[in-house]
């Protein structure tokens, strides 16, 4: 075949010795195929997929010597624990391939679960293109799988003579995968050696073999793996990310590349380089190999070799690709392929065929045009694509029906809208009958009414004009004000709105005195207990903001102000304010009356609060966030400032202590002090200039994101405007009227990642809709103006609607509106600050209602008296209505969307609602009393989750959300075998015989403490329960504080078993440092309290024997490092170091010195690029060792503090090592 380097492998999957043990998962436990295996090979927790718990029940297993009925012939393959021999049935003379596998004995052989899985898959998933299983024989020491004998040889040894032969083979592979994938089974080892020829070339039939690594990927579960042949593994395997059915399609892309060229796309000089090429998706079509290969074949490969597995489509959709279609319909040419692709509804294939020059005027045997076919099927995406490419809208078919008639006849009202919006003739008749009459005849009066409204040309033009972008950009600036009580937030907003500061805007209390003689200095030691960071304000004359107050104003342009109250009770709701709308300016206010130590504590708290809530996905140079601006504002300046002074020097003493927040403050932090007594305050003028500059920067940022969307039409139009009207007009492209773009069959991975996540609800195959929506969200449309007028005309405007309800309301204004237009309008209104887009397709049309009547009302301390006897925070709908100023059903729906409420089914017809924030129940005594039996041998484990900085108030907003997450998990459990009891800052979760307790502790240092215990023999269940809780913590952080880093301080199990009053905990840096060169059993730590030595496995293992599939966390690849940790590494290593101890020298020490020029960047993080280029053999341990050699103790401590102590793996005897599952 001419491949550059032949890969090893034998037919019939002779080497299926993977220790892929399953575990029986507890209710609610994340299904990630983790295995728990002791050192003696016993399966502690085992989960079989659809095969059942006993594989013997799948088919008859014959317990007899194989020689009794079969004669073993020559050997045709051999592996580590299995051989394949040709055999003949003595009675019939039939030939088979006997795969003989040794049963596992201690550490050698194949596990019974693996044999069961492979046999079960072969037995159940029979297909003409998959090798068939004849019989299973158990000889006692071995298991023999009698397989279909295929004598045509491997695909590896055959080279197709052209694309037709290659497409013929690939089509059969896709058909086999389509069958596997329809049962949610991924093959995970597609390569030429695992494809056998069952008939001779040139057009051979093939059989797919080797199901030894196959897995059933249950929807909603995660399975991570590190196995496979290096050249064929997908990026998600190299990066240790969840596998999917798309993992197989990547291998099909590699296979196709090899079949067409004889070369391997990612093969490097060694495995490390191969993995790096795969991870970076670096390949090209060299002219040496692809000079005669068609573009449509290259496009097929491109469509599969995409880094994001979600964008590779499916095996079924690949079968609709024009390269595959043309193989089976070559005689019809591109026209026949077009008709077939339109009938199949494959937008991608039609897009590619159009690029190849396929005609739009094709008709099928019934004289239907392509548009007729799409309209009859109601395929909106296909109709839109054909319209965008200029298909004729009014061509009649053989029966005289236009596409509009066809759509009306079949009741496809959205297709009718697309046709009318594109300009079809609504008055065109078929034998004197208009389309609206056709709609009435077939029972679709809604279509008839729509067409009737559009018959007036002026009205129709008005509807179309409303849906087109205008010249007016949406440049409304969102300003968020954060600060403690009485720090002047409300007064600052009033001053900014008024245009000048008037005397008395700042509310002053008589109890506050300010000494003007104080020198601006600060002591080096500013550490203190959390008690001094108070959120309360005791002045009886002070009237502060409640929760979040939303308002609008004008500061050099229209602004939306979000004022966040400084009271602790509301902190749990602020995550949504800080994450839903970016970019934004954050003003952190601090009273200059406070001592500098208090000012520093307050500013650091709010800075950390913001950083914790920034999703660390988009990491710029030095970890900076380009769409976040933070300005420090000192209020209550002591005296009138100098005429040309902004008062920034009053906050300057704090700067040396704020270096940890450079990623949002920038290298030159913006600070201002405002003086309430000076009408022409220089501080106010400076603040206004800062806000105006931020507005311009954000507009430029949006323009850059706009440009980055792949669009040939965008660039061509911009070039024309630049030539005709000059650069100023070209740069004002955002304000131009742009038609919808044609859909492009290109990898969606190129779509700019900064597009609002709201756009993800679009069909990912339709790039044009996503791009059009993003662009329209940046400018006004006539529909937005009409909507505002419509809402103002309503006597009782709606406060919240679902997406469908919102669409119906918009259609009262404009009947041509489709779902795409309603989503555009939602984004526009959110950018304007006039609505909120909540999870679950909820649209809040009154932000005041959401924050005041729902969030603020429920969390207000003043409403605690309304709780009555419901101090548990659990309400029926009627009870909740009694304490809610608005309809309870709407309020509860909104609270669920922001994770403050969880519905609980009590009976079949009764639902209660739990709001953990309102749970005021005190902890009951005796919830964690020592058990009467001897506890020294019972499973116990525990840890404390502590923030690296800032104690109490950074975890207190997290805990109610953790309680909500635990309640969500238990909703899927068997209530007779589980129980969750929750109180104020505490939860007790019991499953079977095991118990766990999760509490929020706030003594010397606040933390979340987790303890688990169980009776003798329940170690595995305790370990699983602990995993459930840790997964709940991770899910909570992802939702509420995705940038927060928590350290895991493990508790001494010997003291937990003894129920000591004071229990020693080990810092993660101590534990992980001990694992650099030792395993979990060898690393021993001495408890300084009871002088007992405990191995790290004793500390984390819940009393389990050492599991052979459990590895130290230091051995995981660098791809597994959390994004928040990577952001901190970028902050440390990106800036140039005067001793050269930065990312550049680290790259050299990691063996990537030749890539320094490629990795270098002043926009993106070169450290992050470096980590992404490393191979799987570059582990956290090796990174720590190299950083120590560079004397970068800061980065070393970061990794030691946030590397997991252990990871679970499935040791598979393959080329690439093991499968890390945790």
Q: Which residues pair with 239 in a beta bridge?
A: none
pLDDT < 50 regions, the chain: 1-58, 327-328, 330-331, 501-531, 540, 709-775, 1210-1222
- What integer pLDDT is reported at residue 1077 of this predicted model? 86
Whole-number Å distance between alpha carbons of 461 and 308: 41
Task: Please report the pLDDT score of residue 295 as a whole number.
Answer: 80
Among candidates 947, 944, 967, which has minimal Cα distance to 957? 947
Q: Rounded to whole angstroms, how far apart are CA atoms 304 and 820?
A: 27
3-class state of residue 1093 by DSSP: strand
Gap between the Cα atoms of 890 and 800, Å rounded:
7
CB atoms within 10 A of CB 41: 16
Q: Identify whether the C-beta of residue 26 lies closer than 8 Å to the C-beta of residue 969.
A: no
Active-site position among 15, 189, 364, 756:
189
Residue 315's region, left for phi above 0, alpha for psi from -120 to 50, else beta, is alpha
CA distance 959 to 1191: 38
Binding annotation: 99
Joined together, the tokens standing for residue 178 give 């389509």
Query: Residue 933 contacts by C-beta under 8 Å, 6 or more apart in sequence?
Result: 1015
Residue 60: other Cβ atoms inside 10 A: 8
Q: How far apart are CA 999 and CA 1010, in angstroms?
A: 7
**Are the CB atoms for 482 and 586 separated by under 8 Å?**
yes
DSSP assignment of 510-530, as one string?
TT----TT--S---S-----G
Beta bridge partners of 1117: 1179
pLDDT digits (tens, 9 = 90+) for 698-713: 887 666 655 554 443 3
What pLDDT score does 37 carry?
Answer: 38
Q: Residue 202: phi, psi to the nearest 5?
A: -85, -15
- CA pair distance 40, 107, nearest whole angstrom: 7
Can you give the pLDDT at residue 965? 96
* The model scores a pTM over 0.75: no
Q: How do beta strands 82-89 and 70-78 pair?
A: antiparallel
Supply the pLDDT for residue 869: 59
pLDDT at 196: 92
Q: How far is CA 11 from the centre of its chain?
A: 38
Of the candidates 493, 890, 554, the one whose C-alpha atom is nearest the C-alpha of residue 695 is 554
Q: Which residues contact 649 (CB under 8 A, 6 or more apart)?
A: 520
Which helix (H) or strand (E) segment holds residue 800: the answer is strand 800-802
Helix H or strand E segment including 944: strand 940-947
Asked if 992 and 939 count as a contact pair (C-beta separation under 8 A), the reply is no
Q: Note if 1077 is an active site residue.
A: no
Could you tell me the end-to-end alpha-carbon distance of the chain, in angstroms, rounded to an integer? 39
**Burial letters for 585-614: b for 16+ Cβ neighbours within 10 Å, e otherwise?**
bbbbbbbbbbebbbbbbbbbbbbbbbbbbb
Is omega for the bond preceding 266 within 30 degrees of 0, making it cis?
no
Closest by CA to 1110, choosing from 1147, 1155, 1079, 1088, is 1079
Q: Is 572 exposed, middle or buried (0-12, 13-18, 19+ CB in 10 A)?
A: buried
């Amino acid at each position: 075949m001419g491949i550059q380097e032949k890969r090893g492998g034998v037919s019939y999957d002779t080497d299926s010795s993977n220790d892929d043990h399953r575990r029986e998962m507890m209710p609610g436990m994340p299904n990630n195929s983790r295995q728990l295996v002791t050192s003696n090979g016993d399966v502690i927790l085992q989960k079989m997929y659809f095969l059942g718990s006993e594989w013997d029940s799948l088919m008859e297993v014959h317990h007899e010597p194989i020689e009794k009925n079969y004669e073993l012939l020559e050997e045709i393959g051999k592996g580590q624990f299995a051989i394949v021999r040709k055999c003949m049935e003595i009675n019939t003379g039939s030939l088979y391939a006997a795969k003989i596998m040794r049963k596992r004995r201690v550490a050698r052989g194949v596990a019974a679960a693996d044999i069961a899985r492979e046999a079960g898959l072969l037995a159940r998933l029979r297909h003409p293109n998959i090798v068939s299983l004849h019989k299973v024989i158990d000889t006692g020491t071995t298991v023999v799988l009698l397989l279909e004998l295929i004598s045509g040889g491997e695909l590896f040894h055959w080279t197709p003579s052209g694309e037709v032969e290659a497409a013929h083979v690939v089509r059969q592979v896709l058909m086999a995968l389509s069958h596997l994938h329809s049962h949610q089974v991924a093959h995970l080892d597609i390569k030429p050696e695992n494809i056998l020829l069952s008939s001779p070339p040139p057009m051979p039939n093939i059989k797919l073999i080797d199901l030894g690594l196959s897995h059933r990927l249950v929807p909603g579960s995660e399975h991570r793996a590190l196995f496979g042949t290096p050249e064929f593994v997908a990026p998600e395997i190299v990066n240790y990310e969840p596998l999917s059915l798309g993992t197989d399609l990547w291998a099909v892309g590699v296979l196709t590349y090899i079949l067409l060229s004889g070369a391997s796309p990612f093969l490097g000089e060694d495995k490390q380089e191969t993995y790096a090429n795969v991870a970076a998706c670096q390949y090209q079509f060299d002219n040496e190999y692809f000079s005669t290969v068609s573009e449509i074949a290259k496009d097929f490969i491109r469509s599969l070799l995409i880094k994001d597995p979600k964008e590779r489509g499916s095996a079924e959709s690949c079968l609709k690709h024009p390269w595959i279609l043309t193989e089976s319909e070559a005689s019809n040419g591109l026209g026949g392929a077009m008709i077939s692709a339109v009938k199949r509804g494959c937008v991608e294939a039609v897009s590619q065929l159009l690029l190849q020059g396929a005609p739009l005027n094709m008709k099928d045997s019934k004289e239907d045009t392509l548009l007729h076919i799409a309209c009859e099927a109601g395929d909106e995406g296909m109709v839109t694509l054909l319209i965008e490419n200029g298909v004729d809208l009014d061509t009649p078919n053989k029966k005289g029906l236009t596409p509009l008639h066809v759509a009306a006849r079949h009741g496809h009202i959205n297709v009718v809208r697309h046709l009318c919006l594109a300009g079809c003739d609504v008055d065109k008749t078929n034998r004197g009958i208009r389309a609206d009459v056709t709609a009435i005849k077939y029972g679709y009066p809604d279509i008839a009414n729509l067409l009737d409204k559009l018959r007036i040309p002026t009205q129709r033009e008005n509807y179309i004009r409303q849906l087109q972008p205008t010249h007016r950009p949406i440049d409304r600036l969102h300003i968020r004000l954060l600060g403690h009580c009485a720090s002047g937030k409300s007064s600052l907003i009033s001053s900014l709105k008024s245009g000048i500061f008037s005397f008395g805007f700042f509310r002053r209390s008589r109890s506050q005195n300010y000494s003007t003689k104080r020198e601006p200095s600060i002591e080096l030691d500013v550490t203190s207990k959390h008690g001094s960071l108070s959120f309360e304000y005791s002045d009886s004359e002070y009237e502060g903001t409640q929760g979040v107050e939303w308002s609008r104003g004008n500061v050099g342009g229209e602004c939306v102000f979000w004022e966040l109250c400084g009271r602790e009770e509301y902190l749990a709701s602020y995550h949504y304010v800080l994450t839903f709308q970016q970019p934004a300016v954050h003003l952190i206010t601090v009273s200059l009356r406070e001592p500098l130590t208090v000012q520093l504590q307050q500013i650091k708290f709010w800075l950390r609060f913001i950083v914790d809530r920034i999703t660390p996905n988009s990491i710029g140079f030095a970890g900076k966030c380009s769409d976040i601006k933070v300005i420090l504002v000192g209020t209550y300046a002591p005296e009138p400032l100098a005429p040309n002074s902004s008062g920034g020097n009053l906050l300057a003493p704090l700067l040396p202590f704020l270096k940890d927040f450079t990623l949002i403050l920038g290298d030159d932090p913006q600070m201002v002090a405002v003086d309430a007594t000076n009408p022409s305050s220089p501080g106010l003028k400076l603040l206004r200039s800062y806000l105006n500059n931020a507005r311009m920067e954000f507009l430029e940022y949006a323009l850059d994101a706009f440009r980055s969307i792949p669009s040939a039409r965008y660039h061509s139009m911009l070039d024309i405007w630049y030539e005709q009207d000059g650069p100023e007009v070209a740069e004002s492209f955002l304000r131009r009227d742009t038609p919808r773009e044609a859909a492009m069959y290109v990898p969606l991975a190129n779509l700019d990642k900064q597009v609002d996540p709201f756009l993800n609800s679009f069909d990912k195959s339709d790039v044009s809709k996503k791009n059009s929506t993003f662009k329209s969200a940046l400018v006004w449309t006539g529909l937005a103006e009409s909507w505002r007028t419509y809402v103002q005309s309503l006597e009782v405007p709606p406060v919240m609607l679902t997406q469908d309800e919102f669409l119906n309301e918009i259609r009262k204004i404009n009947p041509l509106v489709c779902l795409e237009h309603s989503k555009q309008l939602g984004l526009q209104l959110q950018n304007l600050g006039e609505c909120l887009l909540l999870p679950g397709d909820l649209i809040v049309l009154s932000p005041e209602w959401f924050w005041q009547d729902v969030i603020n009302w429920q969390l207000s301390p003043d409403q605690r008296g309304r709780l009555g006897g419901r101090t548990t925070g659990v309400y029926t709908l009627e009870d909740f209505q009694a304490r809610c100023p608005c309809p309870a059903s709407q309020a509860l729906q909104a609270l669920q969307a922001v994770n403050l409420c969880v519905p609980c089914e009590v009976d079949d017809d009764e639902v209660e609602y739990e709001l953990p924030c309102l749970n005021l129940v005190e902890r009951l005594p005796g919830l964690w009393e020592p058990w009467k039996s001897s506890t020294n041998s019972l499973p116990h484990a525990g840890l404390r989750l502590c923030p690296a900085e800032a104690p109490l108030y950074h975890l207190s907003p997290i805990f109610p959300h953790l309680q909500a997450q635990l309640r969500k998990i238990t909703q899927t459990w068997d209530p007779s075998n589980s129980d969750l009891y929750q109180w104020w800052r505490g939860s007790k979760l019991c499953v079977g015989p095991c118990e766990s307790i999760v509490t929020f502790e706030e003594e010397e240092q606040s933390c979340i403490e987790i303890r688990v215990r169980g009776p003798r023999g329940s170690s595995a269940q305790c370990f699983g329960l602990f995993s459930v809780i840790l997964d709940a913590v991770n899910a909570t952080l992802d939702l509420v504080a995705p940038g927060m880093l928590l350290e895991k301080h493990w508790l001494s199990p010997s003291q937990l078993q003894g129920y000591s009053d004071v229990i020693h905990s080990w810092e993660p840096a101590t534990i992980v440092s001990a694992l650099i060169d030792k395993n979990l059993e060898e690393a021993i730590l001495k408890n300084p309290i009871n002088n007992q030595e405990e191995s790290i496995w004793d500390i984390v293992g819940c009393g389990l024997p050492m599991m052979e599939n459990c590895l130290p966390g230091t051995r995981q690849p660098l791809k597994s490092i959390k994004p928040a940790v990577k952001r901190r590494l970028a902050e440390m290593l990106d800036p140039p170091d005067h001793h050269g101890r930065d990312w550049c020298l680290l790259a050299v020490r990691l063996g990537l010195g030749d890539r320094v020029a490629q990795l270098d960047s002043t926009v993106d993080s070169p450290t992050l690029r470096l980590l992404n280029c490393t191979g799987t053999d570059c582990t956290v341990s090796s990174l720590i060792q190299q950083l120590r050699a560079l004397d970068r103790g800061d980065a070393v401590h970061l990794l030691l503090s946030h590397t997991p102590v252990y990871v679970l793996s499935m040791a598979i005897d393959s080329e690439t090592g093991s499968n890390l599952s945790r």
